[in-house]
Protein backbone atom coordinates (compact mmCIF):
# COMPACT_ATOMS: atom_id res chain seq x y z
CA UNK A 1 0.00 0.00 0.00
CA UNK A 2 1.04 3.64 -0.44
CA UNK A 3 1.35 5.23 2.99
CA UNK A 4 0.08 8.75 3.61
CA UNK A 5 2.88 9.16 6.14
CA UNK A 6 5.98 7.08 5.34
CA UNK A 7 8.54 5.95 7.90
CA UNK A 8 11.18 8.29 6.51
CA UNK A 9 11.64 10.68 3.61
CA UNK A 10 14.60 11.28 1.35
CA UNK A 11 16.05 14.71 2.06
CA UNK A 12 17.17 15.27 -1.54
CA UNK A 13 16.76 18.25 -3.85
CA UNK A 14 18.52 19.75 -6.84
CA UNK A 15 21.79 20.05 -4.88
CA UNK A 16 22.34 16.29 -4.77
CA UNK A 17 21.33 15.96 -8.42
CA UNK A 18 23.70 18.75 -9.45
CA UNK A 19 26.55 17.25 -7.41
CA UNK A 20 26.09 13.88 -9.10
CA UNK A 21 25.85 15.51 -12.53
CA UNK A 22 28.97 17.63 -11.99
CA UNK A 23 30.92 14.57 -10.89
CA UNK A 24 29.85 12.60 -13.96
CA UNK A 25 30.78 15.54 -16.20
CA UNK A 26 34.19 15.82 -14.50
CA UNK A 27 35.25 12.55 -16.12
CA UNK A 28 36.28 10.92 -12.84
CA UNK A 29 33.55 8.85 -11.14
CA UNK A 30 35.44 6.18 -9.15
CA UNK A 31 37.22 6.87 -5.83
CA UNK A 32 38.93 10.23 -6.20
CA UNK A 33 38.72 13.92 -5.24
CA UNK A 34 35.10 13.87 -4.00
CA UNK A 35 35.95 11.02 -1.60
CA UNK A 36 38.95 12.97 -0.35
CA UNK A 37 36.75 16.03 0.20
CA UNK A 38 34.18 13.99 2.12
CA UNK A 39 36.87 12.43 4.31
CA UNK A 40 38.22 15.90 5.13
CA UNK A 41 34.71 17.05 6.11
CA UNK A 42 34.44 14.13 8.54
CA UNK A 43 37.85 14.91 10.01
CA UNK A 44 36.83 18.54 10.55
CA UNK A 45 33.30 17.95 11.85
CA UNK A 46 34.15 15.01 14.09
CA UNK A 47 37.52 16.51 15.16
CA UNK A 48 39.12 13.16 14.47
CA UNK A 49 42.53 12.43 12.97
CA UNK A 50 41.59 10.03 10.18
CA UNK A 51 38.59 9.19 8.00
CA UNK A 52 38.44 6.59 5.22
CA UNK A 53 35.37 6.38 2.99
CA UNK A 54 33.89 2.93 2.44
CA UNK A 55 31.41 1.24 0.10
CA UNK A 56 28.99 0.76 3.01
CA UNK A 57 28.84 0.58 6.79
CA UNK A 58 29.04 -3.22 6.81
CA UNK A 59 32.41 -3.04 5.06
CA UNK A 60 33.50 -0.30 7.47
CA UNK A 61 32.61 -2.58 10.40
CA UNK A 62 34.50 -5.44 8.73
CA UNK A 63 37.55 -3.17 8.46
CA UNK A 64 37.13 -2.17 12.11
CA UNK A 65 37.33 -5.82 13.14
CA UNK A 66 40.42 -6.41 10.98
CA UNK A 67 42.36 -3.39 12.25
CA UNK A 68 41.43 -4.26 15.85
CA UNK A 69 43.11 -7.61 15.31
CA UNK A 70 40.12 -9.88 15.93
CA UNK A 71 40.43 -13.39 14.56
CA UNK A 72 39.70 -17.10 15.02
CA UNK A 73 39.43 -18.13 18.66
CA UNK A 74 38.57 -14.60 19.79
CA UNK A 75 35.28 -13.49 21.33
CA UNK A 76 33.80 -10.05 20.73
CA UNK A 77 30.87 -8.79 22.81
CA UNK A 78 28.04 -7.04 20.97
CA UNK A 79 24.32 -6.31 21.34
CA UNK A 80 21.63 -8.47 19.79
CA UNK A 81 19.30 -5.47 19.43
CA UNK A 82 20.89 -4.26 16.21
CA UNK A 83 21.00 -4.86 12.50
CA UNK A 84 22.80 -8.12 11.68
CA UNK A 85 25.86 -6.32 10.25
CA UNK A 86 26.98 -5.38 13.76
CA UNK A 87 27.51 -9.04 14.65
CA UNK A 88 28.14 -10.45 11.17
CA UNK A 89 31.32 -8.36 10.96
CA UNK A 90 32.73 -10.29 13.91
CA UNK A 91 32.21 -13.58 12.09
CA UNK A 92 33.77 -12.21 8.90
CA UNK A 93 37.18 -12.30 10.64
CA UNK A 94 36.59 -15.72 12.21
CA UNK A 95 35.81 -14.46 15.72
CA UNK A 96 32.73 -15.37 17.75
CA UNK A 97 30.06 -12.80 18.70
CA UNK A 98 28.97 -12.95 22.32
CA UNK A 99 25.62 -11.24 22.78
CA UNK A 100 25.05 -8.93 25.73
CA UNK A 101 21.65 -7.70 26.89
CA UNK A 102 20.33 -4.14 26.76
CA UNK A 103 19.58 -2.06 29.84
CA UNK A 104 15.80 -2.14 29.40
CA UNK A 105 12.80 -0.62 27.59
CA UNK A 106 13.70 2.91 28.66
CA UNK A 107 17.35 2.62 27.53
CA UNK A 108 17.73 0.17 24.67
CA UNK A 109 21.54 0.29 24.39
CA UNK A 110 23.95 -2.43 25.48
CA UNK A 111 24.23 -2.93 29.25
CA UNK A 112 27.77 -2.39 30.65
CA UNK A 113 26.95 -4.71 33.56
CA UNK A 114 26.16 -7.56 31.17
CA UNK A 115 29.23 -6.74 29.08
CA UNK A 116 31.48 -7.35 32.08
CA UNK A 117 29.52 -10.46 32.99
CA UNK A 118 30.23 -11.94 29.53
CA UNK A 119 34.01 -11.35 29.51
CA UNK A 120 36.23 -14.45 29.35
CA UNK A 121 39.92 -15.03 28.67
CA UNK A 122 38.99 -15.18 24.97
CA UNK A 123 37.36 -11.74 24.88
CA UNK A 124 39.22 -9.29 22.65
CA UNK A 125 36.75 -6.49 22.06
CA UNK A 126 33.34 -4.85 22.23
CA UNK A 127 31.12 -3.61 19.42
CA UNK A 128 28.88 -0.82 20.72
CA UNK A 129 25.78 0.21 18.77
CA UNK A 130 24.33 3.64 19.56
CA UNK A 131 20.67 2.78 18.99
CA UNK A 132 18.50 5.44 17.33
CA UNK A 133 21.47 7.81 17.58
CA UNK A 134 21.45 7.89 21.39
CA UNK A 135 24.76 7.25 23.17
CA UNK A 136 25.50 4.07 25.05
CA UNK A 137 27.05 4.39 28.52
CA UNK A 138 30.51 4.97 27.09
CA UNK A 139 32.29 5.94 30.34
CA UNK A 140 31.48 2.58 31.89
CA UNK A 141 32.20 0.70 28.66
CA UNK A 142 35.60 2.34 28.17
CA UNK A 143 36.51 1.64 31.81
CA UNK A 144 35.67 -2.03 31.28
CA UNK A 145 37.69 -2.06 28.05
CA UNK A 146 40.71 -0.51 29.75
CA UNK A 147 40.47 -2.91 32.70
CA UNK A 148 40.43 -5.97 30.41
CA UNK A 149 42.60 -4.58 27.57
CA UNK A 150 39.79 -4.73 24.99
CA UNK A 151 39.33 -2.86 21.72
CA UNK A 152 36.10 -0.88 21.32
CA UNK A 153 34.35 -0.44 17.97
CA UNK A 154 31.52 2.10 17.75
CA UNK A 155 28.78 1.25 15.28
CA UNK A 156 27.61 4.84 14.94
CA UNK A 157 25.48 4.34 11.83
CA UNK A 158 22.45 5.80 13.66
CA UNK A 159 24.29 8.74 15.15
CA UNK A 160 26.11 11.15 12.83
CA UNK A 161 27.00 14.23 14.93
CA UNK A 162 25.33 12.74 18.03
CA UNK A 163 27.24 13.52 21.21
CA UNK A 164 28.17 11.93 24.52
CA UNK A 165 29.38 14.40 27.14
CA UNK A 166 30.61 16.78 24.47
CA UNK A 167 32.32 14.11 22.34
CA UNK A 168 30.99 13.01 18.96
CA UNK A 169 29.89 9.39 18.82
CA UNK A 170 32.51 7.46 16.92
CA UNK A 171 35.44 9.31 18.49
CA UNK A 172 35.39 7.59 21.90
CA UNK A 173 36.34 4.00 21.05
CA UNK A 174 39.31 2.77 19.01
CA UNK A 175 37.53 3.13 15.66
CA UNK A 176 34.02 3.58 14.29
CA UNK A 177 31.75 3.02 11.33
CA UNK A 178 29.02 5.20 9.80
CA UNK A 179 26.33 4.39 7.25
CA UNK A 180 25.06 6.30 4.22
CA UNK A 181 22.30 3.78 3.43
CA UNK A 182 19.18 5.23 1.81
CA UNK A 183 17.20 5.72 5.05
CA UNK A 184 20.06 7.11 7.15
CA UNK A 185 20.58 10.74 8.25
CA UNK A 186 23.27 10.97 5.56
CA UNK A 187 21.91 9.17 2.52
CA UNK A 188 23.65 8.16 -0.69
CA UNK A 189 21.88 4.84 -1.36
CA UNK A 190 24.96 2.91 -0.26
CA UNK A 191 28.15 4.14 1.36
CA UNK A 192 29.92 4.51 4.67
CA UNK A 193 32.85 5.92 6.61
CA UNK A 194 35.56 4.53 8.88
CA UNK A 195 37.08 6.92 11.41
CA UNK A 196 39.82 6.63 14.03
CA UNK A 197 42.47 8.59 15.88
CA UNK A 198 44.94 5.71 15.48
CA UNK A 199 47.41 6.25 12.64
CA UNK A 200 48.24 2.57 12.15
CA UNK A 201 44.57 1.61 12.03
CA UNK A 202 43.90 4.33 9.45
CA UNK A 203 46.81 3.27 7.25
CA UNK A 204 45.71 -0.36 7.34
CA UNK A 205 42.05 0.60 6.67
CA UNK A 206 43.06 2.57 3.59
CA UNK A 207 45.03 -0.38 2.23
CA UNK A 208 42.31 -2.93 2.99
CA UNK A 209 39.73 -0.72 1.24
CA UNK A 210 41.39 -1.19 -2.16
CA UNK A 211 42.89 -4.67 -2.52
CA UNK A 212 45.91 -3.81 -0.36
CA UNK A 213 47.21 -1.56 -3.16
CA UNK A 214 49.94 0.92 -2.26
CA UNK A 215 48.51 3.58 -4.61
CA UNK A 216 45.01 4.29 -5.88
CA UNK A 217 43.92 4.70 -9.50
CA UNK A 218 43.36 8.45 -9.05
CA UNK A 219 46.93 8.93 -7.81
CA UNK A 220 48.28 7.15 -10.86
CA UNK A 221 45.95 8.96 -13.26
CA UNK A 222 47.05 12.27 -11.74
CA UNK A 223 50.71 11.48 -12.31
CA UNK A 224 51.56 11.04 -8.62
CA UNK A 225 52.51 7.38 -9.14
CA UNK A 226 53.04 5.02 -12.03
CA UNK A 227 52.85 1.60 -10.37
CA UNK A 228 51.68 -0.11 -7.21
CA UNK A 229 52.41 -2.95 -4.82
CA UNK A 230 49.96 -5.26 -3.03
CA UNK A 231 51.05 -4.91 0.57
CA UNK A 232 48.36 -6.95 2.37
CA UNK A 233 45.20 -8.94 1.73
CA UNK A 234 42.60 -6.35 0.82
CA UNK A 235 39.09 -6.07 -0.55
CA UNK A 236 37.10 -3.82 -2.86
CA UNK A 237 35.45 -1.58 -0.25
CA UNK A 238 35.74 1.65 -2.26
CA UNK A 239 33.00 4.25 -2.55
CA UNK A 240 32.66 5.99 -5.92
CA UNK A 241 32.90 9.75 -6.33
CA UNK A 242 29.26 10.06 -7.44
CA UNK A 243 28.06 8.86 -4.05
CA UNK A 244 30.73 10.88 -2.27
CA UNK A 245 29.50 14.03 -4.03
CA UNK A 246 25.94 13.29 -2.85
CA UNK A 247 27.22 12.64 0.69
CA UNK A 248 28.97 16.02 0.71
CA UNK A 249 25.67 17.77 0.02
CA UNK A 250 23.90 15.62 2.60
CA UNK A 251 26.53 16.44 5.21
CA UNK A 252 26.12 20.17 4.53
CA UNK A 253 22.40 19.81 5.29
CA UNK A 254 22.85 17.61 8.35
CA UNK A 255 23.20 20.18 11.19
CA UNK A 256 19.99 22.02 10.24
CA UNK A 257 18.17 18.74 9.68
CA UNK A 258 19.14 17.48 13.14
CA UNK A 259 18.02 20.72 14.79
CA UNK A 260 14.58 20.30 13.25
CA UNK A 261 14.44 16.65 14.30
CA UNK A 262 14.95 17.77 17.90
CA UNK A 263 11.69 19.72 17.70
CA UNK A 264 9.91 16.80 16.04
CA UNK A 265 11.05 14.48 18.82
CA UNK A 266 9.99 16.96 21.51
CA UNK A 267 6.44 17.01 20.10
CA UNK A 268 6.42 13.23 19.99
CA UNK A 269 7.67 12.81 23.55
CA UNK A 270 5.19 15.38 24.87
CA UNK A 271 2.32 13.39 23.32
CA UNK A 272 3.54 9.84 23.78
CA UNK A 273 4.51 10.29 27.43
CA UNK A 274 0.80 10.81 28.24
CA UNK A 275 -0.16 7.37 26.91
CA UNK A 276 -0.48 4.74 29.60
CA UNK A 277 1.43 1.52 29.01
CA UNK A 278 4.02 3.03 26.66
CA UNK A 279 7.64 4.05 27.22
CA UNK A 280 9.76 6.21 24.91
CA UNK A 281 13.38 5.03 25.13
CA UNK A 282 15.90 7.74 26.03
CA UNK A 283 13.10 10.16 26.98
CA UNK A 284 15.35 11.76 29.60
CA UNK A 285 18.26 12.28 27.18
CA UNK A 286 19.73 15.80 27.20
CA UNK A 287 22.59 15.22 24.74
CA UNK A 288 22.59 16.52 21.16
CA UNK A 289 21.61 13.50 19.05
CA UNK A 290 20.67 12.61 15.49
CA UNK A 291 17.15 11.32 16.29
CA UNK A 292 17.55 8.83 13.48
CA UNK A 293 14.42 6.87 14.42
CA UNK A 294 11.57 7.19 16.94
CA UNK A 295 11.19 3.90 18.85
CA UNK A 296 8.42 3.29 21.41
CA UNK A 297 8.01 0.20 23.59
CA UNK A 298 4.71 -1.24 24.81
CA UNK A 299 4.65 -2.28 28.47
CA UNK A 300 2.96 -5.42 29.85
CA UNK A 301 2.43 -6.53 26.28
CA UNK A 302 3.34 -9.31 23.85
CA UNK A 303 4.45 -9.81 20.25
CA UNK A 304 0.95 -10.58 18.91
CA UNK A 305 -0.51 -7.45 20.48
CA UNK A 306 2.36 -5.34 19.08
CA UNK A 307 1.74 -6.73 15.61
CA UNK A 308 -2.00 -6.03 15.79
CA UNK A 309 -1.34 -2.45 16.88
CA UNK A 310 1.01 -2.02 13.93
CA UNK A 311 -1.64 -3.37 11.57
CA UNK A 312 -4.14 -0.81 12.84
CA UNK A 313 -1.65 2.01 12.37
CA UNK A 314 -0.85 0.84 8.85
CA UNK A 315 -4.56 0.72 8.03
CA UNK A 316 -4.69 4.44 8.87
CA UNK A 317 -2.00 5.11 6.27
CA UNK A 318 0.99 5.40 8.63
CA UNK A 319 4.09 3.30 8.01
CA UNK A 320 5.90 1.78 11.00
CA UNK A 321 8.81 -0.58 11.44
CA UNK A 322 10.58 -2.70 14.07
CA UNK A 323 14.16 -1.95 15.12
CA UNK A 324 15.19 -4.75 15.25
CA UNK A 325 14.44 -8.45 15.29
CA UNK A 326 16.81 -9.90 17.91
CA UNK A 327 19.97 -11.09 16.13
CA UNK A 328 20.53 -13.95 18.57
CA UNK A 329 17.18 -15.44 17.50
CA UNK A 330 18.20 -15.71 13.84
CA UNK A 331 18.93 -19.26 12.68
CA UNK A 332 22.59 -18.53 12.07
CA UNK A 333 23.13 -17.35 15.69
CA UNK A 334 20.66 -19.52 17.58
CA UNK A 335 23.29 -22.17 18.24
CA UNK A 336 25.17 -19.73 20.49
CA UNK A 337 22.38 -20.09 23.05
CA UNK A 338 22.21 -16.47 24.19
CA UNK A 339 19.59 -15.67 26.84
CA UNK A 340 18.72 -11.97 26.76
CA UNK A 341 15.41 -11.24 28.52
CA UNK A 342 15.45 -7.47 28.10
CA UNK A 343 16.38 -7.67 24.42
CA UNK A 344 13.73 -10.30 23.76
CA UNK A 345 11.01 -8.26 25.45
CA UNK A 346 11.88 -5.08 23.58
CA UNK A 347 12.19 -6.74 20.18
CA UNK A 348 8.73 -8.26 20.70
CA UNK A 349 7.13 -5.00 21.83
CA UNK A 350 8.92 -2.16 20.03
CA UNK A 351 7.31 -0.05 17.30
CA UNK A 352 9.23 2.50 15.24
CA UNK A 353 7.13 5.53 14.30
CA UNK A 354 7.88 7.92 11.41
CA UNK A 355 10.75 10.33 12.11
CA UNK A 356 12.12 13.00 9.80
CA UNK A 357 12.52 16.76 9.78
CA UNK A 358 9.69 17.40 7.30
CA UNK A 359 6.98 15.98 9.61
CA UNK A 360 4.39 18.63 10.46
CA UNK A 361 2.73 19.18 13.82
CA UNK A 362 -0.54 18.04 12.26
CA UNK A 363 1.05 14.80 11.05
CA UNK A 364 2.67 14.11 14.43
CA UNK A 365 -0.65 14.64 16.18
CA UNK A 366 -2.36 12.29 13.71
CA UNK A 367 0.31 9.62 14.27
CA UNK A 368 0.05 9.93 18.06
CA UNK A 369 -3.77 9.95 18.01
CA UNK A 370 -3.80 6.83 15.83
CA UNK A 371 -1.19 5.10 17.97
CA UNK A 372 -2.98 5.94 21.23
CA UNK A 373 -6.35 4.78 19.89
CA UNK A 374 -4.85 1.48 18.79
CA UNK A 375 -3.01 0.94 22.10
CA UNK A 376 -6.29 1.38 23.98
CA UNK A 377 -8.31 -0.80 21.61
CA UNK A 378 -5.96 -3.78 21.27
CA UNK A 379 -5.76 -5.70 24.53
Q: What is the DSSP string of 299-314?
A: SS--HHHHHHHHHHHH
**Residue 172's Cα: distance from chain center in Å?**
15
Query: What region, left, alpha or beta, does residue 28 occupy, with left being phi > 0 and alpha being psi -120 to 50 degrees?
Result: beta
The CA distances from residue 186 to 11, 55, 156, in Å, are 9, 14, 12
What sign has the CA pseudo-torsion 50, 15, 160, 158?
Answer: negative
User: Known catalytic residue: 373?
Assistant: no
Q: Are strands 107-110 and 50-54 parallel, antiparallel or unpaired?
A: unpaired
Pick the catalytic residue from 118, 151, 184, 204. Answer: 184
38 with 172: CB under 8 angstroms? no
Torsion from C-alpha of 260, 262, 264, 269, nearest 10 degrees: -170
Distance of CA 33 to the CA centre of its chain: 26
Report how far residue 130's alpha carbon sits from residue 117's, in angstroms, rounded to the nearest whole number. Answer: 20
Q: Centre a 10 Å sphere on the Cβ of residue 230 and count the other Cβ atoms it contains.
A: 11
Residues 153 and 374: their CA atoms lie apart, in Å, by 39
Residues labelled as active-site residues: 184
Amino acid sequence: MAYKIPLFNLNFDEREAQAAYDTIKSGWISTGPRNAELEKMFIDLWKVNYAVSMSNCTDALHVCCIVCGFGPGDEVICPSLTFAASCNCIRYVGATPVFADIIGPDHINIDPVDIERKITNKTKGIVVVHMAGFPAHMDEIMMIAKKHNLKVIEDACHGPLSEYKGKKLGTIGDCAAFSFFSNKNISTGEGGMFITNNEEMAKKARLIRSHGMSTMSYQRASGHATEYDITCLGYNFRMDDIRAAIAIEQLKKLPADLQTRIQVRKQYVDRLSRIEGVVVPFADNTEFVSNYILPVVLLDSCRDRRNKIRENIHAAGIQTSVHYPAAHRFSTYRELGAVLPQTEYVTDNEITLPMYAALTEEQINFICDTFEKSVKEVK
